């Protein structure tokens, strides 16, 4: 294996899955003798890990590519990888000649050899092969990490009309249980206290390898890792929330009573056009079962408004559902028309101003609901994990909040704490999205 003393910098955009991929790539390069730097000006190799999911993400990725290109000079190599590079490889090669190497989301194993070769310009993609199993990979976690993601699968077998992810990341392929547990154990040894479980469709985990959903069994195994205090589930689809999964969450204190369930809509007309597996009735029943069986469960979801063919009645039904469901954490997006998806070919598309008005209407409604739910927390005491420290004041999150996504809790304490410490905080003030308290 050829080694080098080159330095590299990674600019990561998009979701937690991209953060994970960048950590894997960093480990691969460091195994070859490279040094990771936080200063792009000091790097021999500049890497932009892009997002290409929706239009705004594509624009941001391109801006970052040109920003890195301005630093390149004659001696640095510029690499573009990730979803945008996978999805628009040929266009990018033609339009951004400053880039030396374009690779996709399945090419990380091959990238070190390309980067460390003597060739100056290789504007091409590796086009790596997609295996049937997501292999175990070493990663480089940021220094002093206490919260980290565990990616248990890659790709997706769903055919949602608005989504390009299956074309970008390929079919669903799970990581073996023993590999996922091993990775979590290594993370725990490195100081991780909070484990966030991710995949494109987390509840589908194991069906491709074992013939049945194995998320409950994986969770039970992860709960045995002593150093892990919180386990959080993201991207759990409604049709995969089984009685066994609910029972597993309820029976294990380490698993946060928090589920991220991207429902997208509630009107059957829209769900059908979206090619979703859920119905309005199945979503309502899932919410009911979760709240009946998991104490104080907090549900996070995302909704997509303005999908082609969404009528005024469909939207009114969604608004009524938001009122009745009183969702704890809610994100709303206006439909983005993405080429290469089924929805791109659909008729009955809505004007941009209608989509934005509908999005804003739901978020305005949710603002008052969120404040009411937070007001109900006044006087109660919660465990809070510390994320920020400011001269004796602290900002953190409860078990019901994902890092950098959900609500925050600020408090002042005379005690000295470190990042990642879990303390008991009594809530004294409550606002739309944030809480204020005092340590007890």
Q: What token pair was written down for 149?
A: 């993601």
Q: What token pair was written down for 389?
A: 């420290």
Q: Are 130 and 157 in contact (CB under 8 A)?
A: no
Alpha helices (H) in 326-387, listed in sequence order? 352-375
Question: Residues 6 or more apart from 307 whose CB is under 8 A from it?
Answer: 162, 265, 270, 273, 274, 335, 343
Q: Distance between CA 236 and CA 109 in Å, rounded?
A: 29
Q: Are 92 and 84 in contact (CB under 8 A)?
A: yes
| Ligand-binding site membership of 51 (annotated) | yes
Q: Distance between CA 337 and CA 349 in Å, rounded?
A: 9
| Ligand-binding site membership of 163 (annotated) | yes
- Read off φ and ψ for residue 432, nearest 5 degrees: -55, -45
Q: Distance between CA 81 and CA 83 in Å, rounded?
A: 7
| Ligand-binding site membership of 34 (annotated) | no
| Ligand-binding site membership of 223 (annotated) | no
- Read off φ and ψ for residue 426, nearest 5 degrees: -90, 130
CB atoms within 10 A of CB 62: 19
- Read off φ and ψ for residue 305, nearest 5 degrees: -105, 155
| Ligand-binding site membership of 83 (annotated) | yes
Q: How far is CA 113 from CA 123, 140, 402, in A?
A: 14, 19, 37
- Read off φ and ψ for residue 143, nearest 5 degrees: -60, 140
Residue whose entry in the numeric block shows the structure tokens 């999005």: 359
CA angle 56, 168, 184 (to 5 degrees): 95
Summarize the annotated binding site as residue ranges.
15, 51, 83, 156, 160, 163
Summarize the annotated binding site for [4Fe-4S] cluster as residue ranges.
15, 51, 83, 156, 160, 163
């Amino acid at each position: 294996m050829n080694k080098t003393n080159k330095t590299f910098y990674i600019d990561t955009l998009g979701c937690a899955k991209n953060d994970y991929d960048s950590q894997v790539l960093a480990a691969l390069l460091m195994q070859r003798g490279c040094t990771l730097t936080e200063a792009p000006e000091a790097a021999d190799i500049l890497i932009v890990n892009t997002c290409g999911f929706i239009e705004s993400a594509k624009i941001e990725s391109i801006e970052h590519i040109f920003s890195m290109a301005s630093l390149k000079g004659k001696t640095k190599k510029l690499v573009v990888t990730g979803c945008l590079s996978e999805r628009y490889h040929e266009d990018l090669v033609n339009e951004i000649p400053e880039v030396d190497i374009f690779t996709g989301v399945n090419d990380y194993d091959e990238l070190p050899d390309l980067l460390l070769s003597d060739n100056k310009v290789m504007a091409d993609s590796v086009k790596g092969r997609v295996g049937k199993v997501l292999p175990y990979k070493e990663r480089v976690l940021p220094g002093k990490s206490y919260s980290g993601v565990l990616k248990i699968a890659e790709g997706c077998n769903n055919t949602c009309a608005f989504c390009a992810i299956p074309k970008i990341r390929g079919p669903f392929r799970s990581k073996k249980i023993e590999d996922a547990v091993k990775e979590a154990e290594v993370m725990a040894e490195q100081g991780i206290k909070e484990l966030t479980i991710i995949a494109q469709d987390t509840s589908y985990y194991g069906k491709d390898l074992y013939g049945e959903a194995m998320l409950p069994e994986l969770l039970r195994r992860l709960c045995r890792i002593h150093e892990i205090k919180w386990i959080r589930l993201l991207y759990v689809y409604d049709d995969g929330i089984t009685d066994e999964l609910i029972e597993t969450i309820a029976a294990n204190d380490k698993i946060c009573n928090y589920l991220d369930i991207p429902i997208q809509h509630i009107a059957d007309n829209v769900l059908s056009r979206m090619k979703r597996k859920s119905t309005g009735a199945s979503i309502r029943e899932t919410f009911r079962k979760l709240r009946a069986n998991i104490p104080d469960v907090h549900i996070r979801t995302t909704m997509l408004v303005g999908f082609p063919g969404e009528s005024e009645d469909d939207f009114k039904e969604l608004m009524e559902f938001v009122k009745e469901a009183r969702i704890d954490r809610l994100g709303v997006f206006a439909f983005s028309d993405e080429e290469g998806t089924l929805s791109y070919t659909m008729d009955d598309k809505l004007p941009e101003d209608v989509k934005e008005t509908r999005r804003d209407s739901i978020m305005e409604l949710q603002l008052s609901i969120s404040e009411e739910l937070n007001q109900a927390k006044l006087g109660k005491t919660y465990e809070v994990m510390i994320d920020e420290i400011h001269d004796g004041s602290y900002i953190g999150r409860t078990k019901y909040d994902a890092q950098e996504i959900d609500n925050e809790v600020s408090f002042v304490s005379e005690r000295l704490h470190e990042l990642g410490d879990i303390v008991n905080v009594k809530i004294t003030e409550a606002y739309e999205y944030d809480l204020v308290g005092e340590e007890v």
